[in-house]
Amino acid sequence: MSILGTRVVRVEDPRLLTVGGTYAADVDDPRLAGAIHATYVRSTVAHAEIGAVDLDEARAMPGVVDVVAGDEVDLPPIAGVTNEAMRRPYLARDRVRFVGEPVAVVLTERPEQGPDAAEAVVVDYAPLPAVVDPCDALADDTVLFPEVGTNLVGAFGTPPTADAGGPDASDVVVRQRIVNQRLAACPLEVRSSAATWDLGRLVLWCSTQNAHGLQHAVAAAYGLDRSEVLVVTPDVGGGFGAKIGGHPEDILLGWLSRRCGRPVRWVETRSENMVGMVHGRAQVHDVTIGGRPDGTIEAYHLSIVQDAGAYPNMAAFLPRLTRTMAAGTYAIPTVTSDARVAVTTTTPVASYRGAGRPEATAAIERAVDLFAAEVGLDPAEVRRRNLVPRFDEPHRTASGATYDCGDFPAALDRALAAAGYDELRAEQRRRRAQGDRLALGIGLSTYVEVTSGPRAGSEFAEVEVRDTAGGDGVEVVVATGSSPHGQGLETAFAMLVADEMGVPLDAVRVVHGDTDQVARGVGTFGSRSLQLGGSAVRGAAAEVVDRARRLAADLLEAAPDDVVLDTAAGRFHVAGTPAVGRTWADLVAAAAAGDAGDGAALRAEHDFSTTQPTYPFGAHVAVVEVDTESGDVRLVRHVACDDAGRVLNPLLAEGQRHGGIAQGAAQALYEQVAFDADGNPLTTNFADYAVVSAAELPSFELVDLQTPTWVNPLGAKGIGESGTIGSTPAVHNAVCDAVAHLGVRHIDMPTTPERVWRAIRAAE
């Protein structure tokens, strides 16, 4: 019986729950002996010209080894995705563009000496006007890069026209501006790193989601060959997209170490993380949806303004994902979109769980609810009439995506049935008829997302069977280019190896996050790890089995085609004669002795690649109660039907779904990074930024659906971001639905009590 598809408890948890993890701040390596500590001096104004930077008082502070200002750093500016004229310096030089931008760095003997010394650095700022709204930034009244002459990073797509079959040509046309607010990733482990030079190589320990990607970035920054850079990523306490690659503060440590001739460590504070680490989302949508009075949607247009923050990087790419996924789950004949990306005097924006796809789903799902209200139909019925029917062959959408396989109507039907949708609507009618203070809201969403990237990609794995230091067993070492940071990949990859090779789970050891021990890799983001990394692991394991079969055939004096692996017993034998066989330990000993093969027979590398991404999908039903007197919202139920293809381990998949739903619901109800008109951040810690906790959430109700994909041999699609994508619009729609009978048409996220209360009062 195969272990795949079973509820295997995570193998990494005993260590994490007893001994504890080893994070970048915990690394105790002899190469870091005598390390000094970096504290960044961060801008206290959002936009200003930099005059003199006085370092003298800081240099005289106790324990200070060195203080460095921006004009001393000779590394080239950080390359962006677009517009090289908007590249970011490691330390600001002539101008600062957001509160929290590093201006200088203090190096001290002990970490607690750094903050006081940083306070002693005096920077002469000549304030300039701030611009925090990306739509305002497009007016170019205040320009962040005078040499460029505009805040526009890029624009693509065209607005619709009535004669081209756009929404305005329909009988029913609905328009709405929707703000998909800025969010903070809030990983429990803040950013931390350490650097030193060892025998001419730069060694960097860093909390990152892709060690090899960071190795490439560091090598390029320093003009080094990849072999001259070693990146080590120990345990990572959460990433959520914000730890893809490295940050300027991480990469600069090598330069500081070389300057001082000593190792350098850096660990940020929570407040630094909130203002200095990249944020997510930050899109403004203008949706126009058109159709017929019978509920048929004929055309949809999405206009996007993306806030890139002060320096455009990944944010310049995010609207492309949003545009590609604009059609969602619907068979809409005409879907168009346009996008503009603007810089603002705020923290830069990059990936955050879903990265461009949640924004697309939030827009179309809110638009469908608004359209349903306009034509007077139940939102579930409007969805049924417009969903793409079940498909097993590639389906091309009007917005340019090619879905692999799916059954969107089945997901909706299962979610509605599990929620008891008709009964919920009946209860809602009863409460409204009685004028109940606690209004019931029911929100729906159907979603589809793209995982493993718009062009898919590849991942590397190596599998080797080794002797257990003279014991009678073996160890299977799996080296993976994927990066575990909470998803349970060590368990998943061990399951794949155990199933393929017939070894116990505890005989498998997964190695990752070390560019010396893992030859190459891409990393973990975009829900790619199992379908690409797992397929690579399984491919390498299968190659090892094939080599082992040939070795066993020599020992058994049989033809390789006649030798089979009994995975239940972990033995190779000639088909039909199981009494005589060879174990993995026998084969390791034979290979080591050179009795057969070349001594490296039980090791294989495998690069798995595909040009087609996968498209998980699902349907969510959220139920909220809204206090119509205070505006308080409580999420009382959440039902989620999420399809991720063939599920390797339901326990791991459910964990990802629970976490994703929580983060998505938090966006709808609580979380928002806020700035005042002068660009000052108002959400700099967990007292100001409302991170969701278990106390605010119900126990989620999960409904299963599996449509295995043909894109990879595992039949797997991504699951890490699906819950986030499906839950946000469901909860958002539920809040708007709860107060619709009071005349409220729309409330922007987060639907805080104040916003809900104001919307009710305005409708009155």
DSSP code, position 330:
B
Whether cis (ω within 30° of 0) applies to the bond prior to 750 is yes
The last residue of one of the domains, among 566, 591, 610, is 610
Q: What are phi and psi of 571, to 5 degrees?
A: -130, 145
Q: What is the pLDDT of residue 471?
A: 58
Q: Are residues 572 and 514 in the same domain?
A: yes
Flag whether pLDDT at 697 surpasses 80.
Answer: yes
Q: Report if residue 124 sits inside a domain.
A: no
- Give 444's strand partners: 621
For residues 158-179, give the mean pLDDT: 86
Choose among 35, 145, 45: nearest CA to 88. Answer: 145
pLDDT digits (tens, 9 = 90+) for 24-52: 999 999 999 999 999 999 999 999 999 99
Q: Count CA atoms within 13 Å of residue 702 on its CB side.
A: 21
Q: Are residues 473 and 540 in the same domain?
A: yes
Segment holding 692, helix H or strand E: none
pLDDT digits (tens, 9 = 90+) for 434-458: 999 999 999 999 999 999 987 778 9
Mean pLDDT of the chain: 96
What are the tokens at 623? Answer: 């139920």
Distance CA 285, CA 543 (A): 49
With beta carbons less than 8 A apart as the criterion, state whether 20 and 503 touch: no
Q: What is the pLDDT of residue 81?
A: 67
Q: What are phi and psi of 596, to 5 degrees?
A: -160, 155
Q: Are residues 539 and 629 in the same domain?
A: no
For residues 597-617, give the mean pLDDT: 87
Q: Are residues 329 and 437 in the same domain?
A: yes
How many domains, in total, are found in the chain? 2
The last residue of one of the domains, among 593, 610, 627, is 610
pLDDT digits (tens, 9 = 90+) for 467-523: 986 556 899 999 999 999 999 999 999 999 999 999 999 999 999 999 999 999 999
Choose among 566, 469, 466, 552: nearest CA to 509. Answer: 466
DSSP SS3 for 161: coil
Q: Are residues 586 and 649 in the same domain?
A: no
For residues 290-301, give the mean pLDDT: 98
CATH of the domain at 698: 3.30.365.10
Q: Are residues 330 and 422 in the same domain?
A: yes
For residues 369-396, give the mean pLDDT: 98
| Amino acid letter, residue 282 | A
- Give 514's strand partners: 232
Segment holding 410, helix H or strand E: helix 408-419
Distance CA 76, CA 121 (A): 24
pTM: 0.96
What are the tokens at 260? Answer: 């001082």
Flag whether pLDDT at 466 surpasses 50.
Answer: yes
Distance CA 665, CA 653 (A): 18
**Who's near 761: CB < 8 A, 6+ residues apart?**
none
Q: Are residues 364 and 500 in the same domain?
A: no
Flag whether pLDDT at 565 surpasses 70.
Answer: yes
H-only helix segments in 261-317: 270-276
Q: Are residues 671 and 552 in the same domain?
A: no
Q: What is the pLDDT of residue 83?
A: 77
Q: Report if residue 371 sits inside a domain.
A: yes
Q: Are residues 499 and 465 in the same domain?
A: yes
With 0-12 / 13-18 / 19 or more C-beta atoms within 10 angstroms meaning exposed / middle / buried, residue 48 is: buried
Q: Report if residue 22 sits inside a domain.
A: no
Q: Report if residue 67 sits inside a domain.
A: no
Q: Are residues 603 and 705 in the same domain?
A: no
For residues 357-382, give the mean pLDDT: 98
pLDDT digits (tens, 9 = 90+) for 54-68: 999 999 999 999 999
Confidence of residue 599 (pLDDT cuts 50, 70, 90): very low
Q: Are residues 370 and 486 in the same domain?
A: no
DSSP code, position 640:
E
Q: Report if residue 481 sits inside a domain.
A: yes
DSSP SS3 for 435: coil
Sign of the CA dihedral with 663 first, then 664, 665, and 667 last: positive
DSSP code, position 515:
T
Sign of the CA dihedral with 267 first, then 185, 648, and 520 last: negative
CA–CA distances in Å: residue 242 to residues 184, 187, 191, 388: 9, 9, 10, 33
Q: Are residues 293 and 442 in the same domain?
A: yes
With beta carbons less than 8 A apart as the criterion, state whether 584 and 409 touch: no
Confidence of residue 196 (pLDDT cuts 50, 70, 90): very high
| Amino acid letter, residue 458 | S
Choose among 144, 147, 115: nearest CA to 131. Answer: 144
Sign of the CA dihedral with 653 first, then 656, 659, and 661 last: negative
Distance CA 291, CA 332 (A): 10
Flag whether pLDDT at 600 surpasses 60.
Answer: no
What are the tokens at 504? Answer: 């116990």
Flag whether pLDDT at 144 surpasses 80.
Answer: yes
Q: Report if residue 105 sits inside a domain.
A: no
Segment holding 641, helix H or strand E: strand 633-643
Among 139-143, 332-336, 465-469, 708-712, the minimum mean pLDDT is found in 465-469
Flag whether pLDDT at 161 surpasses 80.
Answer: no
Range of the domain at 674: 279-453+613-763
Cα-Cα-Cα-Cα torsion 731, 648, 651, 655, nearest 10 degrees, comes to -40
- Give 232's strand partners: 205, 514
Q: Report if residue 64 sits inside a domain.
A: no
DSSP SS3 for 116: helix
Distance CA 24, CA 26 (A): 5
Sequential DSSP letters for 21-59:
---GGG---GGGTT-EEEEEEE-SSSSEEEEEEE-HHHH
Choose among 413, 384, 380, 407: nearest CA to 395. Answer: 407
For residues 560-583, give the mean pLDDT: 95
Flag whether pLDDT at 116 surpasses 90.
Answer: yes
For residues 298-308, give the mean pLDDT: 98
Q: What is the pLDDT of residue 711?
A: 96
pLDDT digits (tens, 9 = 90+) for 66-108: 999 999 999 998 877 677 889 999 999 999 999 999 999 999 9
Among 81-85, 583-587, 755-759, the minimum mean pLDDT is found in 81-85
Choose among 633, 638, 608: nearest CA to 623. Answer: 638
H-only helix segments in 462-583: 489-501, 535-556
Q: Report if residue 432 sits inside a domain.
A: yes
Distance CA 515, CA 446 (A): 40
The last residue of one of the domains, among 560, 591, 610, is 610
